[in-house]
Amino acid sequence: MKLRLALLIASLLSSICTQAAEKPLLRLGVLAFGTTNWELLALDHQKLLDNADFKLEVHKVANPQAAKVAIQADAVDMIVTDWIWVSKMRSTGSDYSFYPYSTASGALLVDKDSNINSIADLIGKRLGVGGDELDKNWLLLQALAQQQKIDLNQGVNKSFSAAPLLNQQLLQKHVDAVLNYWHYAAQLEAQGYKTLLTGKDILKGLGISPTMPNLGYVFKQSWAEQNKAALNSFIKVTEQARNQLCDSDSAWQPIIPLLKTDDPATQKILRQRYCEGRVTEWGKTQLDTADKIYALLRKVSNNKLTGTTETIHPGTFWFNQ
């Protein structure tokens, strides 16, 4: 009897220890070629997951829309996307929340010898835009042009294309200017193309500052409240990985093959722009900026991007707790 009791106690203790050792699983959906992969590789090389309060399971997706489908289908717990989508989804009854990932934004570029020196000079020219007609960079550029009494939908021969194809169109002189995402803009910049306006320049021209993060980690609020320790641990280790990539050359070296370029100048500027996108502030000031951006995007897109809600939906933003 004593032996049987001792074995039972030992079995229970083993079960309790096993359960205590089990960490919650965090399923992260990432673009197959997105910059989030840089941090994931850094997490591995720096062994930052060894003492984290979660286990990470990475799901690669083909494009941003696939990431949104994955999280809506509960195939993943978290993706990287923008806060405008989060607010729009909350207005339909979803409980997604946004925690900032990057302030990096797109840019308007032209050939170094181009005679395009201002928004007004785009009239009569061929402008390529990364994404579609609801791309945030495009909408904000229109807002800045409207402030200058310029209608970019009149007199500008615009076309919309996938970001990599857009760069090729500029290289082959099929367009005179491109408005593209930050990492593709950085590649052009490294090849000598002239940056006419960055996303931050556009916002500054609209009287909006400081910078508001564009992209962030997005997850269900209900999931976050049930997994606070895991989420806080994830936020902490990814921030550590990001800082290591920017502050340590040895930490950056394993990332270079992911850049898909052997050109040192392009590698350098990609790292520079990535590091400039680090989020250093997250508070009321950024939320005030978000309100202004939201109002502009709502007006210029005629509610198509934001939905009909007049203001950002409550709960859109998550603050580390």
Q: Which residue has tokens 């339909």? A: 92
Average pLDDT in the 263-287 region? 95
Confidence of residue 41 (pLDDT cuts 50, 70, 90): very high
C-alpha–C-alpha distance, residues 247 and 215, integer Å: 22
Tell me, what's the pLDDT at 212?
A: 93
Residue 18 predicted with pLDDT over 50:
no
Number of separate helices (H) and strands (E) present in the chain: 13, 10
Report yes or no: 180 and 189 within 8 Å, Cβ to Cβ.
no
Identify the structural domains of the chain with CATH numbers, from first to last.
23-103+213-300 (3.40.190.10), 107-205 (3.40.190.10)
Average pLDDT, the chain: 92
Residue 90 predicted with pLDDT over 70:
yes
Tell me, what's the pLDDT at 198?
A: 96
Confidence of residue 211 (pLDDT cuts 50, 70, 90): confident
Tell me, what's the pLDDT at 199?
A: 94
Least confident of 5-9, 82-86, 263-267: 5-9
Residue 271 predicted with pLDDT over 50:
yes
Q: Using alpha carbons only, give the angle 257, 214, 26 rounded to the nearest 5 degrees.
A: 65
pTM: 0.90
Token pair belonging to 257:
């093959």
Q: Which amino acid makes up residue 55?
A: K
- Give one DSSP letter per residue of 172-223, joined into a string: TTSSSEEEE-HHHHHHHHHTT-EEEEEHHHHHHHTT--S----EEEEEEHHH
Least confident of 107-111, 202-206, 231-235, 317-321: 317-321
| Residue 155 backbone class (left: φ over 0; alpha: ψ -120 to 50; beta: rest) | left
Confidence of residue 170 (pLDDT cuts 50, 70, 90): very high
Residue 15 predicted with pLDDT over 60:
no
Residue 298 predicted with pLDDT over 60:
yes
Q: Which of 122, 108, 113, 104 is nearest to 192 (CA)?
A: 113
Report yes or no: 30 and 37 within 8 Å, Cβ to Cβ.
yes
Percent of the chain scoring above 70 in pLDDT: 93
Angle between the N-to-C axes of helices 228-247 and 36-45, in degrees from 0 to 180, rounded to the nearest 10: 90
Number of Cβ within a 10 Å radius of residue 299: 13
